[in-house]
Amino acid sequence: MLDITRLPLQDGTVRLRPLTRADAAAYAEGTTDPAVRARAHLPEAEYTPESVAAMADGVVREGLQRGDLAVLTIADAGTDEFAGSLVIFDVSQDEAEVGFWLHPRSRGRGVAGSALQLSARFATASGLHALTARTVPDNTAAQAVLSRSGFVETGRGRGTTPSGQDVEMVHYRRDLRATTTLDWSVTWHAGHPSPAHDPAPKIQTHWVADDLVVLRQNKSVHFEAPFMFLILGRSRALLIDTGATADPEDFPLRQVVDELIDSWWSGDVPHAHELLVAHTHGHGDHRAADGQFADRPRTTVVGHSLPEVLAHYGFGDWPATPRQLDLGERVLDVIPAPGHHPSATAFYDRRTGLLLTGDSLYPGRLYVEDWEAFVASVDRLVTWSQEHPISYAVGCHIELSAAGQEYPMGTTHHPDEPPLQMPASALTELQTAVREIDGQQGRHAFDRFRVWHLL
């Protein structure tokens, strides 16, 4: 059943909330548009402000209370002005159908796509596993926005619309669970008792999915041994973090990244696709090798200061609302996560369900610079995990042993490390921990991590 307590939801474009009497005039006006009348799922032959107000007080309210029908308003995120309607109906234990239409004045601004993403968040938070949708074959605009929003065409056939018409329909489905198979069968190289005699490569790579590589800097090169992530889309690749060493002789990150990209885009002209180099935050062990990419063709290196991060992603209400990053048929969400560092962000990969948490959560020492910001970021990430399917939370370091003991700071050999990936429940464990600490200065030990809140 649908969980009304999850509403409203919003991003930087729209707010998704229940239809109210205040929307009645705009809703009725929108239904007079010929395109809406022809293609929208409208059970009634005619809508007036009075009938819409009665619907809001009756059918809409009752459906939300039962949890089997959500007639929602797509509203402008800034003004709350009515922009369209989105309905979630035919709710079963695991899935529901979604339909939408826009007021003519709201078309062409990305409103529908944003609303569909919010509907997926609402459905996921309500425990549903999938959303379905239908449209008529000549509604190519709706088909395009559904495809961009993660819906996949599953077939065509005749069907009955809510208004009772028997028509040819194109059927779509979006699985709300992460469907990509992930391969974590890797033993990370954790340094050597004698770093100068370490025979292992300076950078270890592992394909977790067929389009996502996790890289680790050898602890024998730098004790921080940060993890980095290469995510491949159809039009560009994303490299998250560049490690702790600048010198390409000691740390040949660009060479390794180019080889990985070329192997994935085999047959294409080398480096013909764009590369975006971004960061989980601005500390030196996550950006030292930025300079290796400065002269790389078709490459953008995002700055690490807060003003540079805000400008690149277009954050207008930092740290409230995540932003989207499109790599070409692959969308990530960039989630503000300050506290460890002012410009810290987390990255959510919709395809794999991985939440890349940077230095905000990993099996090690979580250093907090700004306590209030850190607490708010943890809450933000927990809420995100409740509204989206999370396969694992993945940070950028390992500093504990498999038995939960801390390795001394600066050591270059960790002979018995736990896995890098952590279950989504680790986020709620961190939330509980910060509530328990309540801002107290000190080193606070918990099973999966340590929280260091020091002056």
Q: What is the pLDDT of residues 283-340, one digit of tens each?
A: 999 999 999 999 999 999 999 999 999 999 999 999 999 999 999 888 999 999 999 9
- Is the CATH number of domain 195-453 3.60.15.10? yes
**Can you give the C-alpha Rg of the chain in angstroms?**
24
What DSSP state is assigned to residue 307? H
Q: What is the pTM of this model?
A: 0.73
Mean pLDDT of the chain: 92
pLDDT for 195-238, tens place per residue? Answer: 999 999 999 999 999 899 999 999 999 999 999 999 999 889 99
Q: Where are the beta strands (DSSP E) in 148-211?
A: 152-160, 166-175, 203-209
340-369 pLDDT, tens per residue?
A: 999 999 999 998 999 999 999 999 999 999
Q: CB within 8 A of 337, min separation 6: which ones? A: 319, 344, 345, 346, 357, 358, 360, 377, 380, 381
Question: Where do you find CATH 3.60.15.10 in the chain?
Answer: 195-453
Q: Are 281 and 359 in contact (CB under 8 A)?
A: yes
CB atoms under 10 Å from CB of 93, counted, come to 9
Residue 271 predicted with pLDDT over 60? no
Sign of the four-CA dihedral 56, 60, 64, 66: positive
Judge whether residue 140 has pLDDT over 90. no
Return residue ranges of the chain for CATH 3.40.630.30: 4-175
pLDDT score for 309: 98
Mean pLDDT in residue range 100-112? 91
DSSP state of 59: I
Give the pLDDT confidence score for residue 137 in this predicted structure: 87
Mean pLDDT, to the nearest integer, of 121-131? 89
- Give tens-digit pLDDT for 416-436: 999 999 999 899 999 999 999
**In the structure, what pLDDT confidence band is assigned to residue 38 with cuts at 50, 70 and 90?**
confident
pLDDT category of residue 177 using cuts at 50, 70 and 90? confident
Residues 6+ apart with CB under 8 A from 269: none
Whether the pLDDT of residue 67 is over 70: the answer is yes
DSSP 338: T
Residue count of the chain? 455
Residue 179 confidence (pLDDT):
61
Closest CA to 243 of 259, 224, 260: 224
Residue type, 336: P
User: 4-175 belongs to which CATH class?
Assistant: alpha beta
For 275, the token pair is 């590369």
Provide the pLDDT for residue 264. Answer: 83
Report the distance separating Cα 53 and Cα 262, nearest Å: 58
The token pair at 403 is 């038995």
Long-range pairs for 243-246 at CB < 8 Å and ≥24 separation?
243/217, 243/285, 243/286, 243/288, 243/289, 244/217, 244/284, 244/285, 244/286, 244/288, 245/217, 245/221, 245/288, 245/289, 246/288, 246/289, 246/291, 246/292
Contact criterion met (CB below 8 Å) for 341 and 355? no
pLDDT of 250: 96
Which residues, at least 6 apart from 208, have a Cβ–Cβ distance to it below 8 Å? 182, 183, 184, 214, 352, 354
Residue 282 has pLDDT above 80, yes or no: yes
pLDDT at 161: 65
